[in-house]
A and B are shown apart, each in its own frame.
Chain A
Amino acid sequence: DVKVTQSSRYLVKRTGEKVFLECVQDMDHENMFWYRQDPGLGLRLIYFSYDVKMKEKGDIPEGYSVSREKKERFSLILESASTNQTSMYLCASSLRESEAFFGQGTRLTVV
């Protein structure tokens, strides 16, 4: 079975903190994605990566950056957390030209 693991289920951070959300997949997938999910807005793509050290902006990249130093790990970074970044964050991975599998999600609260 594909396993996509997000490092935390719940996080509470203060405004202005630098926040790292980690995602690891164990199936040697090339593609990895970060989404945020908000009520009434569905899932929106923040960043994605096709390969190590490669990244592309999604629909809502402002306030975020990403890092992919190893194939299995894709990190989402909030440079200076703000309250409007309180959300559910979902990581996903896929093989080339194949369906995506999701992690369990990280619910981030910025206070």
Chain B
Amino acid sequence: GQQLNQSPQSMFIQEGEDVSMNCTSSSIFNTWLWYKQEPGEGPVLLIALYKAGELTSNGRLTAQFGITRKDSFLNISASIPSDVGIYFCAGQDLKGNEKLTFGTGTRLTIIP
């Protein structure tokens, strides 16, 4: 099955820095989702994007749905220790079979 290309695979940053990660696909999706997963837990939905070009914020998180519908990025501003975890992008074809295709994840580590 298809997987999305997500980069970077891992990030080590200092507390207070901004973070940026992105996801690209060879296929078009009509929804992009960003999830965060903490150790031993299931992924938690952070942001959902439904329209090409859409820019959506959720607190310190901002995500955009690329114009081509084949990419998305997630930014985290002023990182804090609780931002640690693995971030996954997912593309969803809501008019098709609605299953999610996931990126390989970005592991974020924050250095105090």
Chain A residues engaging chain B, CB cutoff 8 angstroms? 4, 6, 9, 31, 33, 40, 42-45, 48, 50, 56, 58-60, 90, 92, 94, 96-105, 107
Contact B92 A42 (CB under 8 A): no
Contact A42 B99 (CB under 8 A): no
Nearest residue (CB) in B for A96 is: B98
Chain B 1-15 per-residue mask, 1 if CB under 8 angstroms from chain A, else 0: 101000000000000
Chain B 77-112 per-residue mask, 1 if CB under 8 angstroms from chain A, else 0: 000000000001010101101111011110000000
Cβ 8 A contact of B99, one of A45, A60, A103: A45
**Total A-B contacts with CB atoms under 8 angstroms apart:** 63
Q: Which residues of B contact A44 (CB under 8 A)?
A: 1
A31-B88 contact given A44-B1, A99-B33, CB 8 Å threshold: no
Whether B40 is near chain A, meaning CB under 8 Å from some CB there, is yes
Q: Which residues of A contact B95 (CB under 8 A)?
A: 97
Contact B42 A104 (CB under 8 A): yes
Contact B3 A90 (CB under 8 A): no
Cβ 8 A contact of A59, one of B1, B44, B94, B98: B1
